[in-house]
Copies of this chain bind each other. A is one copy, B any other.
């Protein structure tokens, strides 16, 4: 079917899954790392950096923007992208909480 049954799960579970999905592609990871490193850049730079077609790069940027983790501002003919620090921290916290909330014993299995 390909249609996730979101109604079976809590908002927190769906939210975390969507956050994970936002970064579940190496191109999007690469975009985020580049933005962190360079602080900000325009689409054309990312097209060069990634080696993907312009249309594909634009699509990944759109997904990251929809996820809220980056923001783009028009600068003449170009669009300048950067990390949204507020959302970035939120991601950081959510993942940290998920992985850290309970300590796992070192040989807990049956």
Chain A residues with a Cβ closer than 8 Å to the other chain, count:
54
Q: With CB as the reference atom, state the residue of chain B lying closest to A110.
A: B80
- Chain B residue numbers with a CB within 8 Å of A28 are 17
B36 lies within 8 A of A102 (CB): yes
B17 lies within 8 A of A24 (CB): yes
Complex interface bits, A19-35 against B, C-beta within 8 A gives 1, otherwise 0: 01101111111100100
Task: Identify A17's interface contact among B16, B18, B29, B75, CB under 8 A.
Answer: B29
Alpha-carbon gap, A9 to B104, bound state (A): 32
Q: With CB as the reference atom, state the residue of chain B lying closest to A20.
A: B24
- Chain B residue numbers with a CB within 8 Å of A75 are 110
Q: With CB as the reference atom, state the residue of chain B lying closest to A16.
A: B29
